[in-house]
């Protein structure tokens, strides 16, 4: 392997100048300056002298890699690491010029990282079990252990041992722009080396990492236990519209709302009531006593609370902006991490440039252009015709394009409870059946299923990956005492899609450091591919052109809904960085204002109500900072994947596409479907579907 072949800068310029420019650009775009000033003790003269010494030590070597890496090592070298002379001696000792030896080093690093990351992940899974899996109510000790991050000291330890410096020195960092520009020329080994260069771009102290983990765990616990007791809801006539059941916000409330589109009698009244509950949660006028508590009856329209003795509660206390306090706590914890990230100095930069590897501006442009497209109004008019009424704000969750909208959910739940009375049934029968129907070979079915553990979820459900090949991925969904209802099954199929991706991209990728997908949108895409076939897996098969057209419109409308939600999240974080001293009351007011602004621009003209706040309901804003943009991005990718899957065996395509691993999104998509991520195919297909359906 000729490692240096494609790793030369296009022009002879100062690499440290490039790094500085990137930092300044990221800081400026997020309205914040980088406050980290403690990592600049190695000057240009020392870097130059070190490079000269390397050229004498390795006279026949191409040192363009060292020319790039030395300023990056210097940027993170502190007085505690040694003097400038120590810096020079370290670089001379640990620079690997020979390409064969360099790849041997890369393989050693990958083996050790799998051991470390795999064990960290397993510890975290075990400690969070009481918080994530049904069982006895978590104690305060469970919550403390659940907030513990076993990897919090990893970066700190790697720098103290100088392992991190050895990695940076030999595997330099490339910006997102450079990866996109040069990546098509890189071999698989070169891509692995570039991914090693992404490992140590910051020096975040363990305390800051632990504080962030604590904040996120607390927010997750708050959301996981935020249930609305639907049987206690009253309308203005004192009627109960719902049976006794606890629905988590927002997922459970949203899915319940969706389920009533095929209910002729009281379906609309139920949807309007759920919408009112959501609005109360957003503005925090919801009474504290009705949250996760079946001892009180509540009219969400009048906000009256009645106790079990039928006495009206006098001035019930509202939830005291708790929702927004968790949001603000997450921001403050991120700020502490910001100070030590010279390459990605804000949570926004880390979420987009680092994690998604798609810029904030690119995502915003992708979403706003879609929301402004004329096809949106055309699809909305079609929905209106199908409903026979004017659209209302909650119709952003219109669910009538799915095949299940014509099947009573009670019927579906009866079937899923019969098939999957417990987690063992879904693990031993459900997962193999799904893979068999997708065309996987028996040995691959056995392999994938043996590497996934199913658990009943305390929260809405999730998939948790494994970080070492000797461990299992985890599938969590809600499983009731009487078995898995349809909502739980639908979630399980979605999470199983994640688990299949996680297993394939851990075990079938050629280099451990390349495991996974470019970002979470790509695992969401495969989860959507699975979830959209959930009724097929139950035996409700429909392969007509009408079904395909309706599925196109379903993806289209899902994008329309979640793009607005994502913009609210994005704009709120941008506002926070512009107003870092904001109080919780100011944050709450701004979230509501931003939700209304986005709504009025892109939704009110379509759905007919000004100033709705409904786009601010998503729980991700509270417990998963800046995760939401992955969903619409994932829907776009899903549609392009679905186009690729047409007429092909899905299992074969999964095994062709996903083992390529963690390229950047645009390189991955070119490999998968032959084109980059774009909304144009979906917009065109929606227009065609409308024409054919009409």
Concatenating the DSSP letter of every residue in 269-331 gives: HHHHHHHHHHHHHHHT-SBGGGBT-TTEEEETTTTEEEETTSPBPSSPPBP-SHHHHHHHHHH
Separation CA 637–CA 630 (nearest Å): 10
> pLDDT above 70 covers what percent of the chain?
94
pLDDT tens figures, 579-606: 999 999 999 999 999 999 999 999 999 9
pLDDT tens figures, 607-652: 989 999 999 999 999 999 999 999 899 889 989 998 999 999 999 9
pTM listed for this prediction? 0.79
What is the predicted pLDDT for the residue at 2? 34
Q: 495 - beta bridge partners?
A: none
What is the predicted pLDDT for the residue at 81? 96
Beta strand 304-307 with 461-464 is unpaired
Candidate from 19-33, 307-321, 588-602 with smallest mean pLDDT: 19-33
What is the predicted pLDDT for the residue at 288? 98
- Cβ(693)–Cβ(665) under 8 Å? no
The b/e string for 595-629 (b: 16+ C-beta within 10 A; e otherwise) is: bbebbeebbbebbeeeebbbbbbbbbbbbbbbbbb
What is the predicted pLDDT for the residue at 544? 72
What is the predicted pLDDT for the residue at 636? 93
Residues 6+ apart with CB under 8 A from 555: 528, 635, 638, 639, 642, 682
Q: Is the peptide bond before 669 cis (omega within 30 degrees of 0)?
A: no
| Residues 235, 237, 240: CA angle, nearest 5 degrees | 50
Three-state DSSP class for residue 451: coil
The mean pLDDT of 402-422, rounded to a whole number, is 86
Tell me the Ramachandran region of residue 356: left when phi exceeds 0, alpha when psi lies from -120 to 50, beta otherwise: alpha
pLDDT tens figures, 462-503: 999 999 999 999 999 999 999 999 999 999 999 999 999 999
Please name the residue that has the structure tokens 């693990």: 427
The mean pLDDT of 245-256, rounded to a whole number, is 95
Q: How far is CA 687 from the centre of its chain?
A: 29
Separation CA 615–CA 598 (nearest Å): 8
Q: How many other CB atoms are found less than 10 A from the CB of residue 55?
A: 13
DSSP-derived secondary structure for 128-185: HHHHHBSSSPPPHHHHHHHT--TTTTHHHHHHHTTHHHHHHHHS----HHHHHHHGGG
What is the predicted pLDDT for the residue at 39? 54
Confidence of residue 403 (pLDDT cuts 50, 70, 90): low
Separation CA 496–CA 526 (nearest Å): 9
The mean pLDDT of 21-26, rounded to a whole number, is 35
pLDDT tens figures, 88-105: 999 999 999 999 999 999
The mean pLDDT of 381-397, rounded to a whole number, is 96
Secondary element (H or E) of residue 229? strand 227-229
Residues 6+ apart with CB under 8 A from 130: 136, 138, 139, 142, 145, 146
Q: How many other CB atoms are found less than 10 A from the CB of residue 542?
A: 13
Residues 6+ apart with CB under 8 A from 345: 23, 26, 27, 30, 32, 34, 36, 338
Give the count of alpha carbons within 13 A of 406, CB side only: 10
Which residue in 333, 135, 327, 137 sits closest to 225, CA to CA? 137
Candidate from 70-84, 511-525, 543-557 with smallest mean pLDDT: 543-557
At residue 645, φ and ψ (nearest 5 deg) are: -75, -20
Confidence of residue 299 (pLDDT cuts 50, 70, 90): very high
What is the predicted pLDDT for the residue at 57? 97
Residue 5 has pLDDT above 50, yes or no: no
The mean pLDDT of 37-49, rounded to a whole number, is 82
Separation CA 419–CA 538 (nearest Å): 9
Residue 668 has pLDDT above 70, yes or no: yes
The mean pLDDT of 380-396, rounded to a whole number, is 97
Three-state DSSP class for residue 247: strand
Confidence of residue 206 (pLDDT cuts 50, 70, 90): confident
The mean pLDDT of 671-690, rounded to a whole number, is 95
Tokens at 262, concatenated: 């095929």
pLDDT tens figures, 536-586: 999 988 767 788 899 899 999 999 999 999 999 999 999 999 999 999 999
- Cβ(535)–Cβ(404) under 8 Å? yes
Q: How far is CA 117 from the centre of its chain?
A: 19
> What angle do the packed helices 360-371 and 545-578 form, to 10 degrees?
130
Residue 426 has pLDDT above 70, yes or no: yes
Tokens at 112, concatenated: 């050790």
pLDDT tens figures, 103-155: 999 999 999 999 999 999 999 999 999 999 999 999 999 999 998 999 988 98
| Residues 651, 654, 657: CA angle, nearest 5 degrees | 150
Q: 133 - beta bridge partners?
A: 457
Average pLDDT in the chain? 91
pLDDT tens figures, 427-470: 999 999 999 999 999 999 999 999 999 999 998 899 999 999 99
| Own/partner pairs, 402-408, CB within 8 angstroms, 24+ separation | 402/550, 402/551, 402/554, 403/535, 403/540, 403/542, 403/547, 403/550, 404/486, 404/534, 404/535, 404/540, 405/261, 405/262, 406/262, 407/262, 407/535, 407/540, 408/262
Which residue in 331, 257, 261, 322 sits closest to 292, CA to CA? 322
Residue 350 has pLDDT above 80, yes or no: yes
Separation CA 11–CA 64 (nearest Å): 11
Q: 299 - beta bridge partners?
A: 304
Q: What's the helix, strand, coil split of the chain in %, to 5?
A: 65, 5, 30
The mean pLDDT of 313-331, rounded to a whole number, is 97
DSSP-derived secondary structure for 476-543: EE--BTTB--HHHHHHHHHHHHHHHHHHHHHHSSSSGGG-S-SSHHHHHHHHHHHHTTHHHHTT----
> pLDDT above 90 covers what percent of the chain?
83
């Amino acid at each position: 392997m000729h490692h240096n072949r494609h790793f030369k800068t296009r022009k002879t310029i100062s690499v440290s100048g490039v790094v500085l420019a990137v930092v300044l650009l990221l800081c400026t775009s997020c309205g914040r300056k980088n406050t980290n000033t403690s990592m600049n003790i190695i000057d240009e003269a020392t870097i130059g002298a070190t490079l000269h010494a390397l050229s004498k030590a390795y006279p026949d070597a191409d040192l363009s890699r060292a020319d790039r890496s030395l300023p990056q090592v210097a940027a993170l070298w502190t007085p505690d690491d040694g003097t400038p002379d120590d810096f020079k001696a370290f670089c001379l000792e640990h620079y690997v010029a020979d390409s064969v030896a360099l790849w041997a080093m890369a393989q050693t690093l990958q083996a050790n990282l799998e051991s470390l990351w795999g064990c960290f992940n397993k510890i975290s899974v075990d400690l969070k079990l009481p918080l994530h899996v049904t069982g006895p109510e978590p104690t305060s000790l469970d919550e403390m252990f659940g907030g513990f991050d076993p990897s919090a000291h990893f970066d700190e330890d790697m720098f103290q041992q100088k392992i991190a410096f050895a990695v940076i020195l030999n595997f330099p960092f490339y910006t997102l722009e450079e990866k996109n520009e040069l990546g098509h020329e890189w071999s698989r080994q070169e891509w692995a080396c570039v991914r090693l260069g992404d490992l140590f771009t910051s020096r975040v102290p363990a305390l800051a990492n632990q504080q962030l983990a604590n904040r996120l765990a607390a927010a997750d616990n708050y959301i996981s236990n935020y249930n609305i007791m639907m049987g206690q809801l009253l309308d203005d006539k004192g009627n109960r519209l719902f049976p006794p059941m606890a629905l988590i916000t927002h997922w459970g409330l949203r899915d319940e709302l969706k389920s009533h589109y095929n209910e002729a009698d009281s379906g609309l009244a139920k949807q309007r009531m759920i919408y009112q509950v959501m609005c109360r949660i957003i503005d925090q006028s919801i009474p504290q006593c009705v949250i996760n508590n079946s001892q009180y009856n509540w009219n969400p329209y009048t906000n009256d609370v009645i106790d079990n003795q039928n006495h009206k509660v006098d001035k019930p206390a509202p939830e005291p902006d708790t929702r927004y306090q968790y949001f603000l706590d997450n921001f403050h914890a991120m700020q502490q991490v910001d100070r030590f990230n010279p390459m990605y100095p804000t949570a926004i930069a880390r979420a987009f440039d680092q994690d998604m590897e798609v810029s904030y501006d690119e995502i915003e442009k992708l979403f706003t252009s879609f929301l402004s497209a004329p096809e949106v109004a055309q699809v909305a008019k079609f929905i209106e015709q199908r409903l026979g009424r004017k659209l209302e704000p909650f119709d952003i969750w219109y669910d009538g394009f799915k095949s299940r909208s014509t099947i009573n959910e009670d019927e579906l739940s009866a079937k899923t409870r019969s098939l999957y009375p417990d987690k063992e049934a879904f693990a031993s029968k459900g997962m193999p059946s799904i893979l068999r129907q997708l065309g996987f070979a028996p040995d691959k079915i056995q392999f994938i299923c043996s590497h996934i553990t199913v658990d009943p979820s305390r929260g809405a459900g999730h998939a948790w990956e494994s970080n070492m090949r000797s461990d299992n991925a985890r599938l969590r969904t809600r499983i009731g005492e009487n078995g898995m209802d349809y909502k739980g099954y639908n979630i399980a199929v979605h999470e199983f899609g994640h688990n299949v991706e996680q297993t394939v991209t851990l075990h079938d990728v050629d280099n451990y450091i390349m495991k996974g997908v470019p970002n979470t949108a790509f695992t969401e895409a495969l989860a959507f591919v699975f979830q959209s076939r959930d009724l097929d897996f139950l035996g409700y098969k429909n392969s007509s052109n009408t079904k395909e057209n309706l599925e196109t419109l379903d993806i289209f409308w899902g994008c329309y809904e979640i793009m607005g939600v994502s913009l609210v999240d994005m704009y709120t974080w941008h506002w926070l960085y512009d107003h870092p001293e904001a109080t919780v009351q100011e944050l709450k007011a701004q979230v509501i204002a931003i939700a209304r602004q986005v709504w009025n621009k892109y939704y009110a003209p379509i759905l007919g109500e000004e100033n709705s706040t409904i786009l601010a309901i998503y729980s991700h804003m509270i417990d998963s900072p800046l995760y939401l943009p992955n969903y619409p991005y994932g829907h776009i990718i899903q549609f392009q994947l679905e186009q690729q899957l047409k007429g092909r065996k899905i299992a074969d395509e999964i095994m062709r596409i996903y083992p390529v691993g963690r390229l950047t999104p645009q390189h991955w998509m070119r490999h998968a479907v032959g084109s980059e991520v774009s909304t144009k195919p979906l917009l065109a297909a929606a227009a065609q579907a409308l024409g054919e359906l009409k």
